[in-house]
Amino acid sequence: MPDKMEEDLSCTGRCAKNMMFTFNLLFLVSGIMALALGLFIVIFPVSTHVAVLMGNGKFIYAGYILMVAGIAVVVVAFVGCCGAKYENKMLLGGLALIFIFVIELIAGVVALAFYTQAEFYIEDNLEIGVMEQYGLPGEEDLTAAWNYIQWWFECCGFKGNATDAALIYTRSLWYLTSNVRVPESCCTESNNKIVNLQMCQDRQNIDWYTNINNQGCYNVIFGTAIQLSVIIAVVGIVLSIIQFFGMAFSYCLLRRLAG
C-alpha cells in the first residue's frame, strides 16, 4: 500500500518524482562515462603528446574538468536517487546540480575554444618544434612527443609525403649536431621492427625516402586534436543539458513536496 507521502502527491507530483529518479539513474551512468572519458584523455599517450607538440593543453584541461564533473555526478546522482525515492527534501535540495551544470558546461566551452584555435596552434608550433627544439638539450619532453607520434601514426616530419615532410629535419638545429638524416622514429617498420635503419638514416643514400614513413605528421596530429576536442565538447554540453532538465524536475518535485 502506498505511504501517506505518496498519497499526498498529485499525479503530476508522482510523475515528477519518478522522472527525477530516472534522471538520476541517467546522471549516474553519464557521470561514469564522463569520468572514464576524462581519465582516458589525460592518460592516453597520444593525447598528452599531441598537447606537448601543440604547446596547448586546453583539451587536456577539459579532460581534467570532465573527471571532476564525472566524480561529482556519480556522488550526487546516488544521493539524488535516494532523495527522489524516499522523497527527502534535504537530499533533493543538496544535489548541487547547478555546480555540476557549470563544470560540464565549462568543459564543453574549453574544448570548443580549443577546436576553433587548433589549426593556429598546430601550424605554428609543429614547424617550430622540429626546426628549433627537436633533439636539443632541455627539450626532452618535446623530442619524446615527436618520436612517439611519428612511431604511433607512422609519419615523419611536418607536411607532405615522405620526401617533403622529412626534409624539414635537414633544415633543423638537430641536423647540425646529428650524424643521421632523420630520427629513428621516422623509419618504416615491419612486425614492430625497423626495416632498414641504416638505409633510412644514411645521409649518403640517394634512396633514403623509400625507408621513411610515407606521410607528414600534420594531418594526423590535427585530426586527433580535433576529434578529442569535439568529443569532449559534445559530452560536456550534452551532460550540462541533461543536468538542466534534472534541475527543472528537482525544483518541480521540491515544490510538490513542499505543498
pLDDT at 20: 64
Mean pLDDT of 63-92: 67
- Residues 126-148 have a mean pLDDT of 91
pLDDT surpassing 70 at residue 54 = yes
Residue 117 burial (CB < 10 Å; 0-12/13-18/19+)?
Answer: middle
Q: How far is CA 149 from CA 30, 53, 170, in A?
A: 31, 9, 19
Mean pLDDT of 241-253: 69
More confident site: 250 or 53: 53
Highest mean pLDDT range out of 28-37, 100-109, 134-143?
A: 134-143
- Cβ proximity of 230 and 111 under 8 Å: yes
What DSSP letter does each residue of 145-175 carry, written as one string? HHHHHHHHHT--SSSSSHHHHHGGGGGSHHH
Tell whether the model's pLDDT for residue 115 goes beyond 70: no
The mean per-residue pLDDT over the stretch 67-95 comes to: 63
Query: pLDDT value at position 94?
Result: 47
pLDDT: which is higher, 200 or 163? 200
- Residue 245 scores a pLDDT above 60: yes
Q: Using CA atoms, how far apart are residues 84 and 16, in angstroms rounded to an integer?
A: 9
Nine-digit cell string for 236: 560536456
| More confident of the two residues 150 and 101 | 150
> Would you list the domain boundaries of the chain?
11-117+227-258
pLDDT band at 75 (very low <50, low <70, confident <90, very high): confident
Across the chain, mean pLDDT equals 77
Give yes or no for residue 4 having a pLDDT over 50.
no
Question: Could you tell me the sign of the dihedral formed by the alpha carbons of 176, 178, 179, 183, in that order?
Answer: negative
Is 190 a residue whose pLDDT tops 60?
yes
pLDDT mean over 149-174 = 86
**Residue-level pLDDT at 145:** 93
The pLDDT of residue 215? 87
Between 104 and 2, the higher pLDDT residue: 104
